[in-house]
Structure 1
């Protein structure tokens, strides 16, 4: 039974290590640990120290190499024993968008005992299994505080009285990410709007008035001009105001008659972590997009995929392309003509929010419809 549990622990640790979407920085942790030892060991409970080195494998999983040590006295004053644990721990963290994250942990390794037991030398080691629960509080981009309760199954029968022992470890510590913290973006300056003057009294502010000397009482258009002329490119902007007189038929234009890019963000379209698989809650959003495309039969769009800056740039580029293609394929399957769409991945190159926070990274992981015509 003990070997089965240890095998399961090692399998879970190895499985967690297969994830790819992760922060590249390693984390060094130090802990103060109170060791509540099994009574059958005949050892006094005491405080010890722990040290770990690990990293987030993705937004939820961490993998840590850990060592802990405690020197405990034999009950009745018969000697003392050094207990040293060395192993791997993987932890699953909940609430990726919160700074306070509960977690559950599982790990395995070796436990070594050295010292004296009632005047008899002790030098013994064997497997151990760790199960834990705790909290991680992110204080800054580099520093987190951790508290954890760990159950340890010790299979090292150094006393010759039991096949295994049940220890409990209560720890508090700090984790520091190695490497410089990313600088927060500078706050945008606050620009006060200029006073809205209307020097010629035509009802159009001087900032927008292209004909600032219109005679009083004359009817004017939205640009402050009294002119009647044509619209040769049929974009809704008169020739006299059109700075882009050769706009494509049907193109979306601004007040100057020049083409603008119209982006529809598909809010609510989500994918499984590190996959290009649509989550069920995304279907209703995409079905609404299908309906919109059907109501506007001449609309031409580009399906654009974006990611946050987690993982490498090349990995994010490939992931954004796969996700854009999945949305494109869904729209085609639901009846939108492939001739009206293209798809493209932009990776991490077009963020709309900071990548320094979980909330910002969530906004940057998005899919958009960019209207082309």
Structure 2
């Protein structure tokens, strides 16, 4: 009963062991091999015997490993050495390691599996032995110590294995046979763990590289910090290659009008379309819409005519997508700003250069 309680307690402890968080560890598959002594349950009336085991396993975290292991033992019976007794099995074992930073790491182990038995049993009627071949659940619990190594690890272990052999029998010295539900064997072993494949290499983390000024544009003007001599400039301004604002001029080449007219001519519309494109490409630009006349006529008439000419250009710009907030005016200057100083009498006063509307930047 004490052995069963010990096995159950160790199995419960392993089952609730906390799996360590993710970190660097050797997670290669490995093979195991071990030899040791199987101290048989006295109720079996068998001799203690050597046993061997081989397995395949993997470390699934820095402190937890899982193994699949095959075992074999062949004890002699104490009542009749001529009767054979074989046992072999398979188990799935979980090992919980402690002291991960030490050269030798203690651990607890728990496992479940299947044990198969093949034995001869002396018959009471002297008609020869009977044979029993049967299997049952096996449970293992114990403690161990494992060394750390890159190529080979050494593992030594002591564990109890509870063999749920409910068909097992226990011959008595008086010849009678008692039925048994289970047997408990003590296993003491030493073995090796051999990792498979190359040792995993931790990824090299390169030191962060400070960004170059050639990759930065703090003011967002399209010129990198290395070449930007005017870091205060803003997106939307007309910016030169050095990051500084450059003057943008709109050369209307004269939006001219016919004599005494304020309607746009086809050549004027083409020029204004170019002006619209320039203004759209430079959204921070503001302009004044200024109308002018030649020197023919009275000052009062020419003032009114210049205002009508400025208005028709202003309306064309706003109708083609230029916001009115970017336009100053429309302003009329009459005949006060001639480009050509002509006589004020006909026909010399008729100057096409003077009867115009201009867009003046910097408004």
Q: TM-score, normalised by structure 2?
A: 0.46
Larger gyration radius, structure 1 or structure 2? 2
Task: Calculate the TM-score normalised by the size of structure 1.
Answer: 0.44
